[in-house]
């Protein structure tokens, strides 16, 4: 089963949603934009979001009225054999009602949620209530061979017929099915080697014992001893291990996006990323691709969510602007991969798709200011101390490297750029060329050439990259056409 989507409409539902998330050990919380603040991701349209999850087989847990879920999904109800679990949870956590997905384990999921909320689930399935099991949805390790015969079979059971069991299965023996050696109905448990010996029918349900399942029932069935128990990998079960592509879309302009990144985006099942970055590539999104939006401050959480989605068999794209390996999400993914090291991540197909970085685009817009040795330094002190940043600026200035400053200024952080300028002026001429590139590749792009002495805090924000020339960087004039900036290849 894929990790579920826990959908809330207001911030008052977040407490219950978090209890559900912790209780089932998976899933992401999606909150209506402008009405929620603490959700993992936000969405703008309830109906569209719910239908996307439903059509991609994602279990849906709505902390909302059952009616709104039913009306939203109603046009899509075609085949109960393929519908994912859908549950409605009362906003105060007082009720858990499974609505759809009886064949995909919705009642088991309802029980898990009910335990987390310390209530009883509102299960309405007749067979499950009477017999304490679900014949249409056997536990892991079993496969119902003839589900099309089950409707008549279960109807006969509910009408009073008895059933005999051939084979061994604890989940059936522990149920309240009306077993009798003289039963008109039959349930048979078989393995692959003996499957041809049985004839499924309206009176006989056949369950195939999964060769890849190391359960006590399998031991008893074969009457043999197997090795020490261990978790079954996705490769052993034959399930798709899932894919995660960490992509860089470039600074903003579609023409700067690589063909590889475009292909990965168009063939994915899920996109994960900061809302602004997802909006930049929205024109490429097909209706069946699910957006998972977040703010820009939870990189490690975003990385873990992407890994978890992929481990459920999805083809996930984690979207960064620029290049994903430069102050972006690739590093966050590998940090989480190392520190948390979940077993289900071991066989994921992970790729990093490069993009044009902001400093490359800024440099190209004015010529070649990074034409010789250079470095990049982020002025944000969120992840490292200002003392560390200042020390690196001093060393780079002393070494006469051209420098690209990322994250120079934010609403709450303005003084670092002035401090950086003071450090640079100890080693660089006030006439050192600098480039201020703002909103590269996007609406409102500006690129300005100045001298270091003219640099002010008002020149920049978080969407600005600043290039500082070396002592050899030059400004030249191409006739009356344009100014260019370059750093010679040979000092």
Residues 150 and 172 in one domain: yes
Say which CATH number the domain at 378 has.
3.30.950.10
Q: pLDDT tens for residues 466-489?
A: 999 999 999 999 988 789 999 999
> Would you call 378 helix, strand, or coil by DSSP?
strand
Contact 71, 29 (CB under 8 A): no
Least confident range from 167-181, 347-361, 362-376: namely 167-181
Instruction: Tell me the per-residue pLDDT of 100-119, one tens digit each, with 9 for 90 and over.
Output: 987 788 888 998 999 999 99
At 436 the pLDDT is 97
Has residue 427 been placed in a domain?
yes
Q: For residue 262, what are its two tokens?
A: 């475009």
DSSP code string of 166-195: ES--HHHHTS---B-TT-SEEEEEE-GGGG
Let me know if residue 228 belongs to a domain.
Answer: no
Cα distance between residue 473 and residue 364, in whole Å: 14
Helix ranges (DSSP H) in 345-431: 358-366, 386-398, 415-425
Residue with tokens 């309206």: 202
Number of Cβ within a 10 Å radius of residue 352: 20
- Given 337, 356, 375, which residue is the final one in a domain? 356
Q: Up-side HSE of residue 311: CA atoms within 13 Å toward CB? A: 19
> What was the pLDDT predicted at 193?
62
DSSP annotation of 454 reads G
Single out the residue in 222, 255, 271 at which a domain terminates. Answer: 222
Q: How far apart are the first and last CA of the chain?
A: 61
Residues 6+ apart with CB under 8 A from 180: 162, 163, 164
Distance CA 339, CA 343 (A): 12
Pairwise CA distance, residues 48 & 287, whole Å: 9
* Spatial contact of 366 and 435, defined as CB atoms under 8 Å apart: yes
* Contact by Cβ (8 Å): 477, 358: no
What DSSP line would sit under 327-343, residue for residue?
A: SSHHHHHHHHHHHH--G
Please tell me the predicted confidence (pLDDT) of residue 195: 58
- Residue 230 domain-assigned? no
Whether 24 maps to a domain, the answer reads yes
Q: How far apart are CA 480 and CA 88, in angstroms?
A: 68
Are 214 and 200 found together in one domain?
Answer: yes
Residue 324 has pLDDT above 80, yes or no: yes
Q: Are 139 and 91 contained in the same domain?
A: no
* Partners of 87 in beta bridges: 61, 98
Paired with 164 in beta bridges are 186
> What pLDDT score was predicted for residue 351?
97
Are 347 and 371 within one domain?
A: no
Specify if 236 maps to a domain: no
- pTM here is 0.61
Q: Does 225 have pLDDT greater than 60?
A: no
Predicted local confidence at residue 243, as pLDDT: 94
- Asked if residues 89 and 110 have their Cβ atoms less than 8 Å apart, the reply is no
Q: Tell me the pairing of strands 315-320 and 243-248.
A: parallel
Same domain? 371 vs 348 = no
Q: Does residue 336 share a domain with residue 285?
A: yes
Element (H, E) at 96: strand 96-100
Instruction: Examine the domain organization and report whether 477 and 376 are in the same domain.
Output: yes
Question: How many separate domains does the chain show?
Answer: 4
Query: pLDDT value at position 128?
Result: 72
Average pLDDT in the 209-225 region? 47
State pLDDT tens for residues 328-362: 999 999 999 999 999 999 999 999 999 999 999 99
- The model's confidence at residue 19, banded by pLDDT at 50, 70 and 90, is very high
On whether both 96 and 135 belong to a single domain, the answer is no
Q: How far apart are CA 51 and CA 170, in angstroms?
A: 37
- Which of the two residues, 184 and 147, has the higher pLDDT score? 184
Measured CA to CA, the distance from residue 323 to residue 315 in angstroms comes to 20
- Residue 101 is part of a domain; what is its CATH number? 3.40.50.11220
**36-60: average pLDDT:** 90
User: Between these two residues, 286 and 399, which has the higher pLDDT value?
Assistant: 399
**Across all residues in the chain, what is the average pLDDT?**
87
More confident residue, 141 or 362: 362
The answer to the question of residue 264 being in a domain is: yes
pLDDT at 26: 85
Q: pLDDT tens digit string along 439-468?
A: 998 888 999 999 999 999 999 998 999 999
Cβ(180)–Cβ(162) under 8 Å? yes
Place of tokens 């399942």: 213
SS3 call for 60:
strand
The values of phi and psi at residue 359, to 5°, are -70, -35
Between residues 125 and 451, the one the model is more confident about: 451
Phi, psi (deg, nearest 5) at residue 33: -60, 145
Among the candidates 124, 150, 180, a domain finishes at 124
- What is the span of the domain harbouring residue 200? 127-222
Dist CA 205 CA 156 (whole Å): 12
**Do residues 217 and 296 both lie within one domain?**
no
Residue 351 and residue 296 share a domain: yes
216 vs 333, higher pLDDT: 333
pLDDT reported for residue 280: 87
**Same domain, residue pair 382 and 314:** no
What's the CATH number where 318 sits?
3.40.1010.10
Query: Is the model's pLDDT at 230 over the cut of 60?
Result: no
Give the H or E element holding residue 51: helix 46-55
Contact 368, 476 (CB under 8 A): no
Same structural domain for residues 87 and 182? no
């Amino acid at each position: 089963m894929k990790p579920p989507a826990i959908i809330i409409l207001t911030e008052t539902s977040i407490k219950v949603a978090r209890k559900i998330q912790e209780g089932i050990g998976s899933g992401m919380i999606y909150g209506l934009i402008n009405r929620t603040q603490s959700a993992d991701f936000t969405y703008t349209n309830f109906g569209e979001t719910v239908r996307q999850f439903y059509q991609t087989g994602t279990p849906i847990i709505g902390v909302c009225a059952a009616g709104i879920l039913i009306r939203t999904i109603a046009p899509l109800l075609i085949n109960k054999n393929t519908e994912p679990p859908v549950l409605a949870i009362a906003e105060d956590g007082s009720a858990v009602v499974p609505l759809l997905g009886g064949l995909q384990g919705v009642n088991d999921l309802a029980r898990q949620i009910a335990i987390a909320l310390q209530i009883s689930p509102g299960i309405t399935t007749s067979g499950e209530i009477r017999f304490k099991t679900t014949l249409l949805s056997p536990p892991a390790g079993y496969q119902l061979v003839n589900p099309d015969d089950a409707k008549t079979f279960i109807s006969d059971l509910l009408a009073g017929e008895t059933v005999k069991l051939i084979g061994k299965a604890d989940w059936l023996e522990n149920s309240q099915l009306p077993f009798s050696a003289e039963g008109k109905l039959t349930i048979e448990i078989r393995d692959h080697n003996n499957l041809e010996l049985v004839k499924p029918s309206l009176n006989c349900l056949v369950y195939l014992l999964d060769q890849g399942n190391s359960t006590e029932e399998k031991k008893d069935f074969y009457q043999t001893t197997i090795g020490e128990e261990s978790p079954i990998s996705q490769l052993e079960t034959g399930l798709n291990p899932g894919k995660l592509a960490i992509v860089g879309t470039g600074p903003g302009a579609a023409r700067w996006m690589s063909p590889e990144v475009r292909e990965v985006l168009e063939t994915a099942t899920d996109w994960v990323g900061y809302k602004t970055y997802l909006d930049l590539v929205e024109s490429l999104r097909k209706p069946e691709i699910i957006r998972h939006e977040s703010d820009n401050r939870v990189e490690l959480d975003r990385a873990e969510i992407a890994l978890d989605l992929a481990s459920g068999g999805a083809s996930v794209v984690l979207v960064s602007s620029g290049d994903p390996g430069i102050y972006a999400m690739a590093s966050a993914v590998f940090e989480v991969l190392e520190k948390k090291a979940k077993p289900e991540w071991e066989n994921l197909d992970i790729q990093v798709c490069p993009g044009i970085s902001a400093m490359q685009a800024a440099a190209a817009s004015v010529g070649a200011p990074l034409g010789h040795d250079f470095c990049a330094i982020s002025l944000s002190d969120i992840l490292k101390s200002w003392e560390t940043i200042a020390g690196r600026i001093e060393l780079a200035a002393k070494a006469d490297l051209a420098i690209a400053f990322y994250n120079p200024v934010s609403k709450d952080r303005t003084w670092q750029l002035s401090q950086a300028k003071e450090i640079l002026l100890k080693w660089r001429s006030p006439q050192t060329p600098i480039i201020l590139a703002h909103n590269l590749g996007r609406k409102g792009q500006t690129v300005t050439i100045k001298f270091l002495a003219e640099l002010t805090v008002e020149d920049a924000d978080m969407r600005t990259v600043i290039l500082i020339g070396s002592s050899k960087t030059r400004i030249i004039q191409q006739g009356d056409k344009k100014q260019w900036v370059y750093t010679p290849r040979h000092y």
